[in-house]
Homo-oligomer: A and B are copies of this chain.
Amino acid sequence: MLDKEKALVVFSGGQDSTTCMFYAMAYYKEVELVTFEYGQRHALEIEVAKNIAKEHGLKHHVLDMNLLSQLSPNALTQHDMEVSSDDKIPNTFVPARNLIFLSFATALAYQIGAKTIITGVCETDFSGYPDCRDVFVKSMNVTANLAMDENFIIATPLMWLDKKETWALADSFGKLEYIRDNTLTCYEGIMSDGCGKCPACELRMNGLNAYLEEKEAAL
């Protein structure tokens, strides 16, 4: 029996999934987190996720997905490759990574009785990953429901937000500063505002600046 007041958040400790965590804490009575450990570029990512979970007293499932690296020798999991943003599909591409993550997340949601699975995937910053598209998530939702004869809701609160709007959402929970200071987005593994140069930092910082300017202008 799934509890509609219980949500499981797919949680990496980055800006987007931490925003999703605060979203879940605002709208659900019970919240648990799941993090997939798959040989991330920076071991720090897992520590950041664990710390945020602990600070908020949330049950945190850390699942070992190192199997992924067997399937996908590439930049996200092999530390000796360069990150490139030139190709249409980034060479950080792990085929079907979200398919695999959401398969595990929905199975875990079944086990803990959570009706809603929340993931921070986002089509607006679409970076060439087909399994970040809305159409994929909706199909995945139907497939998971059929697989377990249940009516899960895979919620994607950031799907149509750009980075500026994601910062606005965090601010609406009073958590902009917390997320700015305590999350890790940077490809170089530098916390908070990061290296400022990699594509992830640029996206994050441009969004933040745009939001702060807009907020100031509105005062």
Contacts and interface: CB of A to CB of B under 8 A. Distances in A.
A60 interface: no
Contacts of A99: 103, 106-107, 143-144, 147-148
A143 B146 CA distance: 12
Interface residues of A, number: 34
A98 interface: yes
Interface stretch (A15-23, A128-136, A167-175, A181-189): A128-136
A63 B100 CA distance: 14
A147 B96 contact: yes
A63 B67 CA distance: 7
A100 B107 contact: yes
Interface string A47-90: 00000000000000001110100111000000000000000000
Given A64-B67, A130-B146, A146-B130, A107 B135 contact: no
A140 B148 CA distance: 12
A193 to B, nearest CB: 33
Interface of A: 63-65, 67, 70-72, 94-96, 98-100, 103-104, 106-108, 110-111, 130-131, 133, 135-136, 139-140, 142-144, 146-149
27 contacts: A63-B70, A65-B67, A67-B67, A67-B104, A71-B107, A72-B107, A94-B107, A95-B107, A95-B147, A96-B147, A98-B147, A99-B103, A99-B107, A99-B143, A99-B144, A100-B100, A100-B104, A100-B107, A130-B146, A130-B149, A131-B146, A131-B147, A131-B148, A133-B146, A136-B143, A139-B146, A143-B143
